[in-house]
Chain A
Amino acid sequence: MTVKVYSTPSCPWCHKAKEFFKENNVAFDDVDVSEDVAAAQEMVQKSGQMGVPVIDFNGEIIVGFDVQRLTELMKKAA
């Protein structure tokens, strides 16, 4: 399972998304797009928009913190 969370340090939903993965013991790459310009461009390219968080879950792109969708994807990947 490859999970990447594109986030900024001050975004409340980014924190919630990361807490969610930690609670569910899902390892993830935390990408701070406020520091990493190339990663920010990658995020915009993948999601077609400029807001955080963006979650790349095994290639599936989710904009925002959608618990229902993430739970479905975790079940599928288990």
Chain B
Amino acid sequence: MEKSEKEKGNLNFDFIVLGAGGTGLAAAMYAARLGLKTLVLGSSNGSELPVGGVITTTDNVENYPGFPKISGMELAKKLEEHAREYDLVDIKQELAEKVEKKKNCFLVQTKKGTYQGKSLLFATGTKWRKLEVPGSAEFERKGVNYCALCDGPLFRDKVVAIVGGSDSAVKDALVLSKYAKKVYVIARNELRAEPINFEKIKSDKKAEILTKTNVKEIKGDSVVRSIVLDKPYKDQKELKVDGVFVAIGHIPLSDLAKPLGVEIDDHGEIKIDHKTSETNVKGIFAAGDVTDKGFKQLITGVGDGCTAAYYAYEYVTKNQVVSC
């Protein structure tokens, strides 16, 4: 059936933001301030993250201005509330499945409908990189977990390992140390944590740090029982553990951008103009963890999201994109 003009109006936007993490929410807030009718599409699927994005899985955020210490979940809620302050912002818990260019506009399809936007922002972020060793898939959620903040409390008084050497991995180790009786931090190189977190984990009596070490295999029966290392630690190659948490980085969620002709680098990150957040395709912007920028934190994603919103506003108003 043909849609009424009112229904069509409800599906037409100046700016469509794919991703409802901190970057997408900040971009939407700023776009609305500039008068852009904005739609934010976030996920409602249990395998992805809720509105608020990856920051919801961080225990304490201590590097966001204005909040010396705040939980990731609380900060995400504030960002969402701030975006929702504006009537021009619509946030839907729908996952974009397909994006097409039609004349000067973009059509974004979800399971519930198709939305039309004059400009587009990829703030899709990343997904966890899986540990690919024997046993990791078999024991996923049976001792092999990816969200320390979510599932760490289930390992009270147990022995766990965290695989990874980044700042995120070390922060996860600090979360796990609140519950577990012992935490092995296993990094293939040296730890790359921020100095403040590095000092915390080094002085944590429950933590044992194994650098230049890889996990070769995860063993168990109905649940995880041990891990096998590529070199001995205290004369043992096999360590008894009850759980393995994985924090070995992320994979950018840039698949929807490829068919639009958006340039992607070798890491799967969307290439953007670092001044404007614009991609090589006019009207398409990207910001946050999915991009090729070097330093990625909530604070930088939020800034880049706002930059994208501003240049999307310039694009929409200067180009007078009125018909699609």
Contact = CB atoms under 8 A, between A and B. Distances in A.
Interface of A: 8-16, 33-34, 37, 40, 44, 48-52, 63-67
The dominant DSSP class at the A interface is loop
B156 interface: yes
A18 B157 CA distance: 27
A10 B154 contact: no
Contact of B154 (A13, A52, A64): A52
Contact of A12 (B57, B141, B143, B145): B57
Nearest to A34: B153
B176 to A, nearest CB: 12
B125 to A, nearest CB: 14
A13 B46 CA distance: 7
A11 B50 contact: no
B44 interface: yes
Contacts of A44: 154
Contacts of B142: 48-50
Contacts of A9: 153
B50 A10 contact: no
Contact of A50 (B46, B76, B151): B151
A51 B73 contact: no
Interface string B97-134: 00000000000000000000000000000000000000
Nearest to A14: B150
A73 B229 CA distance: 45
B223 A64 contact: no
Contacts of A51: 141, 145, 147, 150-151, 154
Given A11-B149, A11-B151, A14-B150, A34 B156 contact: yes
B46 A40 contact: no
Contacts of B52: 12
A11 B150 contact: yes
8 tightest A-B CB contacts, nearest first:
A34-B153, A64-B46, A11-B150, A12-B56, A49-B141, A8-B153, A51-B141, A65-B46
Contacts of B179: 34
A40 B154 contact: yes
Nearest to B151: A51
Given A11-B147, A12-B150, A50 B156 contact: no
B150 A10 contact: yes
B47 interface: yes
A34 to B, nearest CB: 3
B256 interface: no
A16 B46 CA distance: 10
Contacts of B56: 12
A16 B154 CA distance: 19
B151 A12 contact: no
B269 interface: no
14 contacts: A12-B49, A13-B150, A15-B73, A33-B153, A37-B156, A40-B154, A44-B154, A48-B142, A50-B143, A50-B145, A50-B243, A51-B147, A64-B46, A66-B46
A31 to B, nearest CB: 12
Interface string B134-168: 00000001110101011111101000000000000
Contacts of B145: 50-51
Interface string B214-242: 00000000010000000000000000000
A34 B50 contact: no
